[in-house]
Chains A and B, each alone.
Chain A
Amino acid sequence: MDLPSGSDGAMTRGGGGDRVAALRKTVLATLGAVLLATSGWSFYQSRRLPEPVVLGPGVTRVRTLGEYFAGVRGTVNDCRLYFLEGEEPGGTVLVLGGTHPEEPAGRLAAWLLVENGRMAAGRLIVVLSANRSATTVTRLGGAYPPDFSIPTPWGERTFRMGDRWSNPLDQWPDPEVYIHYPSRQNLAYVDIRNLNRTWPGRPNGTLTERTTYAFMELIRKEGVDLVLDLHEAELQYPVISTIVAHEKGRELAAFVSMLLTDTEFKMGMEYSPKTLHGLSHREIGDHSQAIPLLFEAPEPFLDATRGRTTREALLTGKDEFVKRAGQAGLLFETMDDNGWPIDVRVGRHTSAVLVTLEVWTDFYPDRPLRLEGVPRYADVVALGTGHWLQNPASAPPGRVVVE
């Protein structure tokens, strides 16, 4: 085999170049594999992080959503339903926590209901992870921590952070545009995975649509009178520190708003827009006998102007940048050095639930809803959310389940 003059040298350089290129590729591939393995382990762990629930003295039954609609049975969204049934008959209320898991005060408040509550009259059904799929992922680009821990007198309880949307691992791809059922309203494509844009759902739809359909089946079959959906909102969002009410619940919400503002903290009230579809406060009211109310608490951790995205910021609700935005008049809620700590946000929700049930009972004495044992706003702020979380290690046998 004849080679042209000088080709040896060229080959040697080429061979050396090839070796360098191969080495570079090997090193980069190895680094990539390490990144894949370490991050993959983190995602695996957070998706499977067990969240224990101590069944409080008032929990009489635990069922699953799949018992009401087979379309979600065995899926990631086959969430648990905690029934607290009073000895006295009365109405039925459904409390939804975890519609948007990245708004954790709603989930935590629901946790306090399950671990502390006891119905004296009527029935309470509590959901801790309405969109369980969304609890297993954090928002891409949002840099949220995978989980957070609440200190308690006996140690810590750790919860998944979650996202606003169902995990793409459970529902993907998204359509070019999301057309809501049954209104046919055009919504953002990503909102086909948003549990609070898919009400009232449809039986042969996507996982998120089937989940809201299953909740509608629950509401219909259990004769639910009242649905309370617990949320949090960024301070740059105008719907904040308020109750959003379907017109069926107008008077109820107005009284709750006045009572809370007079006695505990400022709480607004607004009507559910009739032309905006897919939201719980619109569709549950339109498609069932139940009255839906949605509660919003302030969460600076969701604001786009927020500073460091850390677990500490999530729990303290303090943020210099959001405060600066407030000084510039850009916020719809006050923001000072005290921030909006998790205890304040959780307490707002527990009191909102308690006051709503009190007003309901005044309005509908033939269907009373009397809840006891749940801490009010002042109790949660004074003693901390963790004080009201029970220790799974000292719970009676058979009284601990995992979310």
Chain B
Amino acid sequence: MLMLMSVSIFGLSRVHAHVISVLSEGILTMRTVDEWFLSMLESNGVVILVVTVLTLIVLRLLFVIHRTGKPLRPTAVKPLSTLIVLGSGGHTAEMLNLLAALQKDRFYPRYYIAAATDNMSLQKARSFESSSDDEIFLRLVQMGKDKAEYMQIYRSREVGQSYITSVGTTLVAIAHALWLMIKIRPQVILCNGPGTCIPICGIAFLFKVLGIRWSTIFYVESIARVKRLSLSGLLLYKLRIADQLYVQWPQLQRKYPRSILVGCLM
């Protein structure tokens, strides 16, 4: 409304200035007022734009936080692309134990990610994938539904690395995680502790906010954590990034009431 009014006033005054060569003081005053009004409106417009965009971002952020932790609409039996973050020895054993209990025809294709310095975990995942010899699995192979991919990710900090150099390596690790996440855009993310899951889950949350992909994040705290969550678990819990956070010991569940007790997996 204001904008329209000012434009019409401005247009009128320009016509007047053109037609009437003898300038009356009144019109002059009117023009300067117009210009002042317009510049005011222009700067106000920027402010309004910024406020609107910020409000939209905050609203989207609140929506994502609100939706995180609530199940998606029933997607029936559609398969879900699944990203599995593997860690060192104990973590990988627990994760493969969990995967054995999940239906392979629902969670596929499966993308395994391990740290670049960890050669054992992907090898274990490969032998896990090829060890399933039951009939269902063989039928899946024939249908091309046994798809699994294996990739490695840079770690932000190796054990014993100095904190100064770790700033650079952290940036590289985040960029690499972003690249992998853009490529995979998983519908489900499974993780159970290793630090490599933090950049991945953070990017997944960003993708939710931006509306790129809604990934359901399942975090299963390691059985080794009896009294306190690991740093990864604590971050995902406090920042409400994980949709579901499962713990294996009752005392841990009592300490973190939003977590879900599932008993020992091993």
Do the two chains belong together in a single complex? no
